[in-house]
Chains A and B, each alone.
Chain A
Amino acid sequence: MSTKKSLAAAGYLLVLALGIVIFGFPLYWMVRGALISQAEWFQLPLVWWPHHAQLSAFHEIFASFRMGLVLTNTACVALLMMIFNVAFDSMAGFALAKMHAPARKWVYLLLLMTMMVPFEGLMVPLYLVVTRMGLANTIAGIVLPGAANAFCIILMHHFFASVPDELIEAARVDGAGWPRIFFGIAVPLATPAIATIAIITFLAGWDSFVWPLLITDPQSNFDVLPKVLAEATFASMGGAQDIQWPWLMAAALIATVPVLILFALGQRFFIEGLTKGAVKG
């Protein structure tokens, strides 16, 4: 019995360790790739461990590449997307959950349908619309399609639906108008849900590259980090010799750090939100 048990425990630990390698190794490979030189990248047999670790790739991308500008753009896009979503999605969610909005059943159905629409399938017409609005090559053009999110509206709707009606009735009897009810009662109660959508939408903004790639020119002043990474990765696939592999991995690492910090700080909200959203959405 006890040998059987310890055998099972050993098997469990083995599988657990295997998982650590599978999920951890690519991350290690990114760090390693950022710390070695281009020459070491091309050495055979492979340099598995960076014996001569150096930070020159980080210095170089800031010195000889417009990394500062690109990072500022990326942060702007992510922050704007977060702010718009927090404002728009919570207002819409509240109206759907607690107010007799006109045709709200239809609006809700529309939102559910919207969640299924593949953005990738609508890129061409969306490009035509946004270009026609004169927003090509602007931050506004990058942010617009991500400024509201059906999934997050539904998440907020579920949250506000759980707020007792009596609270709102009482405030209305006291003569409070809707803006005061929303900002004074609903929003303070909804802080955890708002934190959730803030994290989700910040990450989405920080992540996006397909749309920025379409709506801004190559080498534009509105380049964002994932777009630059995509272009460099793509070029390196084509065998471009001037692509510095360590730069690519250093940029990838820079893109990852804020995400990890945000995840560590907001893990609870992130997981709660996703769990609720997945079941009810």
Chain B
Amino acid sequence: MTLRKIDRQEAYWSSLFLAPALLVILICVIIPAVLAFALSWTHASRFGTVHFAGGYNYRKLFEDPVALQSFFNTLLYVVVFVPLNIALALAVALLLQPNFTGMKLIRSVYFVPAVLSSMVTVSIFRFLYDARHGPISALLETLGFAPIAWLEQTGYAMAAIIGLSLWKSIPFNAIIFLAALQSVPAELHEAARIDGAGAMRRLFNVTVPALRPMIGALTILSLIGAFRVFEPMFVLTEGGPANSTRSIALHAYLVGFRDGELGYSSAVSFVLLVIILVATVLLHRMGGEE
């Protein structure tokens, strides 16, 4: 057998091994992405008419007050959600780090939200946030405050959705942080303690630097996820009240599927895609080589 024959066999089999996965990605990611880009320059509608539109859809994007608001809403969501998510997940991981009898059980209570399906979470929170029959309102009333219709008032709806997302997301990240904490050498802590460093100094000078790659990776993942936020608004508020919870992804969905403006919807999607790419690259740069 010649070397060339072996190489050809290797190329043949490796292509065969890659083919199914790449075919799925081609059909479900690459073609739709190219199609979105192509459609964004047209007046495509649900009814099959396609006319070239130049930059009309992109201009519309910057003139449509609802679109601008959805960008603002998404940014607000990202800016509040991402730092809270990472900081609280790390706090929860530290909280759950000690080992004593019963800790395993306590950890599983904390971790259940991470595996709960997102739709189940949304359903439960719909009832938690209920103004008349929800426990949060009942608690407020016992404390002497007025009940709040969390999902129906402009000031509160976004906060309610961020709360739901944090509840689901903090445990997920805390699991990963907790696993990473096991790999921080105990000697480092011991040495810092002997040098007289208090708990806070040990946290910021030993633990946080040791977890830096993990913090960076989870921040990027959390950021990508936050820019894509869609599900809770889609089910609970449909972007309301007064568009205060309309995210970019929801805007793209609503103008595309409900209003049938496929061209405009594609332009919105494409801009979202670019924002995510740019944000990820920027954050990557900031975090150094990892």
Binding site for B on A (CB under 8 A): 12, 15-16, 19-20, 22-27, 29-30, 33, 41-42, 44-46, 48, 84, 87-89, 91-92, 94-96, 99-102, 104, 107, 110-111, 113-114, 116-130, 133, 144-145, 147-148, 150, 153, 172, 177-179, 182, 203, 206-207, 209-210, 214, 226, 229-230, 232-234, 236-237, 245, 248-249, 252, 255-256, 259-260, 262-263, 271-272, 274-275, 278-279, 281
A129 with B27: CB separation less than 8 A: yes
Whether the pair A19, B110 counts as a contact (CB closer than 8 A) is yes
The 4 A-B residue pairs whose C-beta atoms are closest, nearest first, are A101-B14, A121-B269, A120-B249, A125-B32
For B20, what are the chain A residues with a Cβ–Cβ distance below 8 Å? Answer: 84, 87-88, 91-92, 147-148
Known: A124-B257, A178-B14, A233-B123; 6 extra A-B contacts, CB below 8 A, are A27-B124, A123-B252, A124-B262, A209-B119, A259-B117, A274-B176
In Å, the complex CA distance between A124 and B44 comes to: 12
Q: Per-residue 0/1 for B21-36: is the Cβ within 8 Å of any A Cβ (1 yes, 0 no)?
A: 1101101110111011
* Interchain CB contact under 8 A, A20 and B109: yes
Is there an interface contact between B10 and A178, defined as CB atoms closer than 8 Å?
yes
Q: Are B117 and A207 in contact (CB under 8 A)?
A: yes
Near A by CB (< 8 A), chain B positions 118-161 give: 118-128, 132-133, 135, 138, 151
CB distance from A101 to the nearest CB of B (A): 4
How far, in whole Å, are A122 and B270 apart by their CA atoms in the complex? 8
**Is there contact, CB below 8 Å, between B126 and A102?**
no
Tell me whether A207 and B9 are in contact (CB under 8 A): no
Task: Check B14–A23 contact: CB distance below 8 A.
Answer: no
Query: How close is B278's CB to chain A, nearest CB, in angstroms?
Result: 10
| Residues on the A chain within 8 Å of B138, using CB | 45-46
List of B residues within 8 angstroms of A123 by Cβ:
252-253, 256-257
Nearest chain A CB to B33 CB, angstrom units: 6
Contact B266 A124 (CB under 8 A): yes
Q: A26-B125, A214-B257, A263-B115 are in contact. Are A118 and B249 (CB under 8 A)?
A: yes
Interface of B is mostly: helix
Q: How far is the CB of B130 from chain A (nearest CB, A)?
A: 9
Interface size class of B (residues with CB under 8 A): 35 or more
- Answer whether residue B194 sits at the interface, using C-beta atoms and an 8 A cutoff: no
Which residues of B have CB within 8 Å of A99?
Answer: 10, 13-14, 17
Q: Does B207 sit within 8 A of A, measured CB to CB?
A: no
The distance in angstroms between the C-alpha atoms of A234 and B224, with both chains bound, is 26
Assess whether B25 is in contact with A182, with CB atoms less than 8 Å apart: no
> A residues within 8 A CB of B18?
91-92, 95-96, 101, 107
| A104 → B minimal CB distance (Å) | 8
Q: Which of B51-59, B63-71, B213-221 contacts A (4 or more CB under 8 A)?
A: B213-221
21 contacts between A and B (CB under 8 A): A19-B95, A30-B124, A107-B22, A114-B25, A118-B273, A121-B36, A123-B253, A123-B257, A129-B31, A144-B28, A178-B9, A182-B17, A210-B231, A229-B120, A229-B123, A255-B117, A255-B119, A271-B176, A278-B176, A279-B214, A279-B217
Complex Cα distance A122/B176, Å? 29
Q: Is B110 in contact with A153, judged by CB distance below 8 angstroms?
A: no
Which residues of B sit under 8 angstroms from A234, Cβ to Cβ? 235
B79 at the interface (CB under 8 A from A): no
Q: Which residues of A contact B7 (CB under 8 A)?
A: 100
Q: Are B127 and A29 in contact (CB under 8 A)?
A: yes
- Is B249 a contact partner of A42 (Cβ separation < 8 A)? no
B72 within 8 Å of A (CB atoms): no
Quick one: given A275-B179, A278-B176, are A120 and B228 in contact (CB under 8 Å)?
A: yes
How far apart are A75's CB and chain B's nearest CB, in angstroms? 13
CB distance from A81 to the nearest CB of B (A): 11
Across the interface, do A46 and B17 meet the contact criterion of CB distance under 8 Å? no
Residue A102 contacts which of B11, B25, B257 (CB distance < 8 angstroms)?
B11
B124 and A26: CB pair below 8 A? Answer: yes
**Alpha-carbon gap, A110 to B236, bound state (A):** 35
